Structure formats: structure tokens, C-alpha cells
Amino acid sequence: MKVIDKILLGLSATGMIALMYLVFMVVPADRAQGIVQKVFYVHVPAAWVAFTAFGVTGFFGLRYLMTRDLRFDRLAASSAEVGVYYITMVLITGPLWAKPIWGIFWTWDLRLTTSFILWLLYLAYLILRRSVGDRERRAQLSAVVGLISFLDVPIVYMANRVRASQHPAPVVGGGEGSGLEPIMLFTLLFGLFVFSTTFVLLLRARNGQAALEDEIEQLYLQRD
């Protein structure tokens, strides 16, 4: 393991413990929703990191199309895989938060539906990668699908900003009347930092594996 990965691992591990301390020992419970509102400190950072991961997939997909360098394709695919993990966490923790507050796990409103579509799009991206044999064609198709799928990210982001939604209104960057207590905002931003370092660590690990997978594919081709 390289030094940078050791640093990222240390930051992620200690950050997670510190985040748990902040969430359960320091931040007060929300007046309206009570203790269950603390799901917010993992639900929102997971969503932001998922959006970033899909942005990274689109960016490196575009770089691949411009350069035909497979290193960019590997980074794009690795980021999509890690992003799917984060968006899955969003789609599980959201209903667990919704049930005691709304009385239901799920409703097909714009924010929730577009988030679910985002998850389906990147699952399709990963399935596509497994179903195309030719390496170059796989990279080209994935880059195009990764770029098109990213169009759903701003739609998810704007969904509860442009239209009334069952989903809570944004508390950061949500315009007049939105905002958080300083300790709540700090905990949210700290959660975002921890989830981001974990994302970079997982991305680097998955990308190293993708390089090994390509090496194996090449070795099989040489053998045949």
C-alpha cells in the first residue's frame, strides 16, 4: 500500500469515528423531527459524493473519447462502481428516515424518482461493461453512456428546488429561509470530508484492480 493510501485510510477511519462522536454526542436533535433527523449527516454526504463520483465518470469518459487512453476508461468505470455504492446507501437511508417522519418508506415524487433513475442508469452502465467483450468498444460505449447518464445528476439536484416535493427542501444553498445551526453545518461538512476521503481511497483501490483486470485480459489474449 502506498503512502497516500495509508494517509487516506487513516483519515477515513479516524474521520468516521469522529463523525460518529459528533453525530451522537455533540449535535443536538432536531426540534421538529427528533433524533431520526441525524440520518441527515450520512444521507446528504453520501448523495453529494455519489454525484461527484458520477461527475468523475463523465469527466474521465470524455477524456477517454478525446485520447483513447484506457487509463481514463478504468478511472471512469471505477468511479461509477464506487458511486453506485454511495447512491445505494442514499436510497436505503432515505426510506429509513422517511418512514418515521412521513409514515411511508417511499413515494414517487420527482426527487425520489429521479434518484432511483440515477441508480438504474449507473447499474445499466456497469452491466453494459460486463456484456461487451471487445475492450475498445466497451470503453467507447461506456464513455458515451457515462456522459449521458450524468445528465440526470442536475435533474436530481434541482428536483426539489423547482417543484414542491415530499422530500425536504434544501437546507444548504436552498435560498431564503434555508440554513443550519453552525454545529449542524460543521458536522455536515465534516461528514462530507470523511465520505470524500473514503471515496478517493475506494476509487484508487478499485482503479488498481481495474489495471490488474486489463493485464489479465491481455495475458489471456497473448496466450490464445
Partner 1 sequence: MPNNFWWLFASYAVIWSGMFIFVMQLLSRQAKLRREVDHLLRERGGRGASDGDIQA
Q: In angstroms, give the least distance from the CB of 175 to partner 1.
A: 27
Q: Are 182 and 133 in contact (CB under 8 A)?
A: no
Q: Considering only residues 7, 26, 96, 148, which one is a binding residue for partner 1 as defined by CB under 8 A?
A: 96
Got the DSSP string for 28-39?
Answer: PPBTTTBGGGGG
Q: In angstroms, give the least distance from the CB of 100 to partner 1.
A: 4
Core vs surface per residue 175-200: b (16+ CB within 10 A) or e: eeeeeeeeebeebbebbbbbbbbbbb
- Distances in Å between the Cα of 140 and the Cα atoms of 113, 145, 157 are 28, 9, 27
Q: Are 44 and 15 in contact (CB under 8 A)?
A: no
**Is position 7 an interface residue for partner 1 (rule: CB under 8 A)?**
no
**Residue 82, class by beta-carbon neighbours within 10 Å (0-12 exposed, 13-18 middle, 19+ buried)?**
buried
Task: Pick out residues in 165-224 that bind partner 1 (CB under 8 A).
Answer: 198, 202, 204-209, 211-213, 215-216, 219-220, 222-223
Q: In angstroms, give the least distance from the CB of 203 to partner 1.
A: 9
Considering the complex, state which of residue 86 and residue 125 has its C-beta at the smaller distance from partner 1.
86
Q: Considering only residues 15, 27, 43, 79, which one is a binding residue for partner 1 as defined by CB under 8 A?
A: 43
Q: In angstroms, give the least distance from the CB of 163 to partner 1.
A: 26
For the chain, how big is the Rg over CA atoms in Å? 19
Considering the complex, state which of residue 16 and residue 158 has its C-beta at the smaller distance from partner 1.
16
Per CB under 8 A, residues contacting partner 1 are: 1-2, 5, 16, 20, 29, 34-36, 38-39, 42-43, 46, 85, 88-89, 92-93, 96-97, 99-100, 198, 202, 204-209, 211-213, 215-216, 219-220, 222-223
